[in-house]
A and B are shown apart, each in its own frame.
Chain A
Amino acid sequence: MRRWLIALLVLLLGRLRRRPRLPREERIVEPAPPDRSAENLALALFGCAALCGVAFPVVYAVDAIPHQTQSLGLALGLALAFIAAACIVIGRRLVVTEELEEDYSLPGHPDEEDAVARIVEESGDRFTRKRLLLLAGTGAGTALGVALITPGASLGPLLDVSSLYRTPWRRGVRLVDEAGQRFRADEIEEGTFYTAYPEHADREQMGAPLVVVRLKPEQLQLPGGRRGWAPDGIVAYSKICTHAGCAIALYRKPTFPPVEPRPALICPCHYSTFDPARGGQVLFGPAGRDLPQLPLEIDPIGELRAGGNFSGAVGPSWWGVRNHGARS
């Protein structure tokens, strides 16, 4: 760490020291009058670009701003447009342009090469505030860079991942369907699958949706410690695949079990296949963890309720995903 800091310091100091200027006797490019207004315009355009670049993370962070997606696009687009405009102004009005026609020189003509370098150098003569312009350009570029990396914040919490373990399920929460109607245990049929949500909870949460299927009780081989999690053979799992977070939208159910593949919950994105009879064990595909199972209970009036929280963390994996189970 210290070595890195010293290296950075040396680099910065080295950059800051000015190089001595060598006097030059004669010019090649005709001196052109400075153009303050064009310079101001370029500065203003860089300033606008920087403002737009800064506006991006602001719009991103403040949810109260209407039409957020469109505003984000506008901010990024304008920042790029302003930078382009500034470059155009510099190119057309500030850089001395001179058309020269000459044959390619043979290599080994240091004088001519030097002359070319001086032409480039001297064509920048109209800039009276070169460093300021450079600073403005750097500012605009930096702001744009910040705008471009801002969406990375959506990738998830950086340090505090406790929110990822939270789900709306706890003991006693009823299972409801898409329309909000409560599921009764006797409505759950074999050979098909149901999507269920927690009653009175936000369905957009990662831990909310469930896939519910009924199997024959004698088919079940749930892992130890899950006794009573599947009343009458009804099992519930998180509907979010543990690989990439797609919805488990496929249920493979055999019509005639002796010759057909065993029942499985399948994610259509990358074909991760989970065994509902064995506690959501991965049968096939890229998923690295079993599908989290939710214990179920049937209450005295026959409605389905959660018997607790999931057997593991819900959704695609993150670092430390196995450190805790799901939390209410």
Chain B
Amino acid sequence: MRRSVLLLATAALLLVSVARAGPPSPGVTHVSVPPGTPLVDWGAQLFGANCVTCHGPEGRGIFSSIAGAGGTTGLGPSLQGVGAQAADFYLRTGYMPLEDPHKQPRRSRVLFSEQELQALIAYVASLKQGPPVPTPHPEGGDLAEGLKQFTEHCAGCHQVAAAGGYVTNAVAPALNRATPVQIAEAARIGPYVMPRFSERQISNQQLDSIIRYVIYAKHPDDRGGWAMGHIGPVPEGLVTWFIGIAAIVATCVVIGRRLST
């Protein structure tokens, strides 16, 4: 009860401040709390200052776009039951806060401090029972198995080299900056248009192998030498056409000249 009152108060405060300040500029609002404030309460304050416009009071979500005070339009999914797992993923990748709810969230600079992140994650986790932040063990995974599983479940969008790719109407991000925890979280959550994978589809052991492979794919062992971005036949074909064939033609010219003199 006390918490919801606090939250409504912060939400109201925010709306008033937004009304005064006009449309929000990119960036986050930091909230200073007296020392000794419980983490969850600090998180509630931060949530009220940065997230409530789109995710609604107590993270209940805003499902149809309503023009709010100061020309802001909030629109966002419910966060009840998503747990620390989703909050940790979206905040630590910089996917949230999102500038425009109609845009695809992208990896960007994290503007909250470590303590603020912990506070927000604790607050979102406290809304309703949800999955905790996973603890993967990629060192226990099998690299070959990881490649196999990655090829089967992930490579369709992210490419086998985890270099990212396209889906109609969306972008599959490159995984070169993903941490093991973030990979484990993404597989279970399915951020944006990515499907989520249950333990029946990818067991925790298989997920460890996948993570090990993704970590390996950041710096693969290029036996052939020049990696050409690890993105497969298109750049390789360009090299064949413009470098390989040019070299062969040049060789032919040299040979022809030697014979004619």
**Chain A residues packing against B (C-beta within 8 Å):** 187, 189, 191-194, 249-256, 258-261, 264, 266, 268, 271, 273, 283-285
Extra pairs beyond A191-B195, A255-B190 (7, CB < 8 Å): A191-B190, A255-B191, A255-B192, A259-B101, A260-B192, A264-B168, A266-B168
Query: Is A261 touching B197 in the complex (CB atoms < 8 A)?
Result: no
Q: A252 touching B169 by the CB < 8 A rule?
A: yes
Known: A249-B156, A261-B170. A189 touches B198 (CB 8 A): yes
**Contact status of A192 and B193, CB under 8 A, knowing A250-B157, A259-B101:** no
Measured CB to CB, the closest approach of chain B to A227, in angstroms, equals 27
Complex Cα gap A146–B165 (Å): 42
B64 touches A252 (CB 8 A): no
Contact check, B156 vs A250: say whether CB atoms are below 8 A apart: yes
Min CB distance B64 to A, Å, is 7
With A250-B156, A258-B63 known as contacts, the answer to whether A271 contacts B168 (CB < 8 A) is yes
Contacts of B197 in A (CB 8 A): 192
Interface residues of B in 176-219 (CB under 8 A from A): 190-198, 200-201
Complex Cα spacing A31 to B95, Å: 88
Of A191, A194, A252, A254, the most chain B CB neighbours within 10 A belong to A252
Q: In whole angstroms, what is the CA distance A251 to B65 when docked?
A: 26
CA distance A264 to B170 in the complex (A): 12
Inter-chain contacts of B190 with A (CB < 8 A)? 191-192, 253, 255
Q: Does B75 contact A (CB under 8 A)?
A: yes
Question: Interface digits, B143-168 against A, CB 8 Å rule (1 contact, 0 not)?
Answer: 00000000000011100000001111
Closest to B104 in A: A260
Q: Decide: B168 and A192 in contact? CB cutoff 8 A.
A: no
Q: Check B63–A250 contact: CB distance below 8 A.
A: no
Number of interface residues of B (CB under 8 A): 28
Task: Please give, as numbers and ranges, the residues of chain B lying within 8 Å of A187 by CB-CB distance.
Answer: 200
Inter-chain contacts of A285 with B (CB < 8 A): 168
Residues of B within 8 A of A268 (CB): 156-157, 165
Which residue of B is nearest A195, CB measured? B152
How far is B65's CA from A97's CA once the two chains are assembled, in angstroms? 90
Known interface pairs A191-B190, A194-B201, A255-B193; A250-B65 also in contact (CB < 8 Å): no
In the complex the two chains form, what is the Cα distance from A261 to B102 in whole Å?
10
Which residues of chain B are near A250, meaning CB under 8 Å? 156-157, 167
Hey, which chain B residues are within 8 Å of A260, CB to CB? 170, 192-193
A189→B195 CA distance, assembly (Å) = 11
A252 touches B193 (CB 8 A): yes
The 8 A CB mask of B71-88 against A (1 = contact, 0 = none) is 000011100000000000
Query: Interface centre among A191, A256, A264, by most B CB within 10 Å?
Result: A256
Whether A261 and B168, one on each chain, are in contact in the complex, defined by CB atoms closer than 8 angstroms, is yes
- Closest B-chain residue to A189, C-beta based? B198
Given the interface contacts A192-B198, A250-B156, A250-B157, does A258 sit within 8 Å of B168 by beta carbon?
no
Find the B residue at minimum CB distance from A249: B156
B206 to chain A, nearest CB (A): 12
What are 9 sample pairs from A and B whose C-beta atoms fall under 8 A apart? Answer: A249-B156, A254-B193, A255-B193, A256-B77, A258-B64, A259-B102, A260-B193, A268-B156, A273-B168
A256 to B90, CA, bound (A): 14
